[in-house]
Amino acid sequence: MTYPLGYLYPNEFAQPLQWLPVLFSYSLLISGADLLLVALIAYLFNKLKRTVPVLLIVGLAFYTVVLLGPLADLRNPDRAVLLFSHPHLFPTAENPGLALITLQGAVLWPLGFVLAALFTLLYFAPANYKRYLSTRNPFYKLLSLGVKSRTPFLNAVLKILAVVALIPLAFWAVYPATLFTMQTALWIWRNWQTLLPMYFADTFVVATAAAILAMWIYGIKKVGDDINGILLIHGAASISVVALLLAQVAIWNAQYGGSPYIQVIDQVASWITPVVMLYLVTFILSLIAVRWRAVSLVVPFTGVAAALLNKWNIIVRAQYAQRSGLTFIGPAEDVIAHELPVMIGIVAFGIFLSIVLSILFPAEGHD
- Tens of pLDDT, residues 65-74: 887 766 655 5
Helix orientation angle between 52-65 and 333-360, rounded to the nearest 10 degrees: 140
Which amino acid does the sequence have at 12? Answer: E
pLDDT at 11 over 60: no
Tell me how many degrees the CA angle 169-209-319 measures, rounded to the nearest 5.
70
Residue 273, C-beta contacts closer than 8 angstroms, at least 6 positions apart:
none
pLDDT at 362 over 90: no
pLDDT at 333 over 60: no
Domain borders along the chain are 14-365
Distances (CA, A) of 22 to 5, 75, 106, 182, 344: 26, 12, 20, 19, 9
pLDDT at 144: 87
Asked if the bond preceding 4 is cis, omega within 30° of 0, the reply is yes
- Tens of pLDDT, residues 77-112: 666 676 666 676 777 777 666 667 777 777 888 899
- Tens of pLDDT, residues 154-166: 999 999 999 999 9
pLDDT at 2: 41
Instruction: Report how far residue 147's alpha carbon sits from residue 363's, in angstroms, rounded to the nearest whole number.
Output: 18
Residue 321 is classified by DSSP as B
Tell me how crowded residue 359 is: count the other CB atoms within 10 A of its CB: 8
Domain 14-365 class, CATH top level? mainly alpha
* Stretch 341-362: mean pLDDT: 85
pLDDT at 327: 77
pLDDT at 291 over 80: yes
Quickly state the pLDDT bin for 3 (edges 50, 70, 90).
very low
pLDDT at 282: 97
- The fraction of the chain above a pLDDT of 70, given in percent, is 82
* Stretch 217-225: mean pLDDT: 83
pLDDT at 221: 81
Nearest residue to 241 (alpha-carbon basis) of 289, 169, 313, 165:
313
* Stretch 210-237: mean pLDDT: 89
Instruction: Report how far residue 85's alpha carbon sits from residue 89's, in angstroms, rounded to the nearest whole number.
Output: 11
pLDDT at 199: 86
- Tens of pLDDT, residues 243-288: 999 999 999 999 998 888 888 898 899 999 999 999 999 999 999 9
- Tens of pLDDT, residues 174-204: 777 777 777 666 788 888 889 889 988 998 9
Instruction: Report how far residue 65's alpha carbon sits from residue 71's, in angstroms, rounded to the nearest whole number.
Output: 11
Q: What value does the mean pLDDT of the chain take?
A: 83
pLDDT at 171: 86
* Stretch 38-46: mean pLDDT: 91
Instruction: Report how far residue 79's alpha carbon sits from residue 58's, in angstroms, rounded to the nearest whole number.
Output: 29
pLDDT at 273: 94
pLDDT at 342: 75
* Stretch 8-18: mean pLDDT: 52
Tell me how crowded residue 364 is: count the other CB atoms within 10 A of its CB: 10
